[in-house]
Amino acid sequence: MTPQEATQLLFQAARSGRINDAESALAAGTDPNARDGWQWTPLHLAALNGYADLARLLIAKGAKATARNDEQRTPLHFAALNGYADLALLLIAKGADPTAKDKWQQTPLNYAVDGGHAYLVRLLKEAARDKPAHADRVVGRRGSGEPQIGG
């Protein structure tokens, strides 16, 4: 299998949820953070379609939960849009930002509210509340740009 074929297979697997195909593509050396023409990663597609097991595999192989597509949406935006709470929890646990804004300034919470996903709305509110304070409150900056704790 050529590298291009392996990448194509990984994207097809992410669209269809075929874990065996994803494993084959990854074993062939495909980058789990590969991008298509719209800057989507396989993890974006897995999140859009609710494939939590496939998302776990991709993350275990190095996929970034913080990846953004050409509209600045993260996989968490798509999990929230479709009400996939288990997938949203996985993404948050792996570093996804529940307060990330897309190019329209919409967060995953906005998408969960619009979709009427009450349980997910509560989860995202809690995750956003528990998110560490912004770095400028925790780490002050001196003129030299060196971090200074407690600034």
Could you read off the pLDDT of 9-24 as tens digits, one per residue?
Answer: 999 999 999 999 999 9
Q: Is the pLDDT of residue 60 over 90?
A: yes
Domain count, the chain: 1
- Cα dihedral: 107, 112, 115, 120 (round 10): 170
Q: Does residue 137 sit within a domain?
A: no
What is the 8-class DSSP label of residue 73? -
Q: Does residue 151 sit within a domain?
A: no
Of the candidate ranges 19-33, 67-81, 114-128, 132-146, the one whose mean pLDDT is the lowest: 132-146
Q: Does residue 139 sit within a domain?
A: no
The answer to whether 88 and 121 have CB atoms below 8 angstroms apart is no
The SS3 call for residue 62 is: coil
The answer to whether 98 and 130 have CB atoms below 8 angstroms apart is no
- The CATH number of whichever domain residue 13 belongs to comes to 1.25.40.20
Where does the pLDDT of residue 83 fall: very low under 50, low under 70, confident under 90, or very high at 90 and above?
Answer: very high
Task: Find all residues with CB under 8 Å of 20, minimum gap 6, and list them.
Answer: 13
| pTM confidence score | 0.84
Q: Does residue 119 sit within a domain?
A: yes
- pLDDT, residue 4, reads 95
Q: Does residue 149 sit within a domain?
A: no
Structural domain including 93 reads 3-131
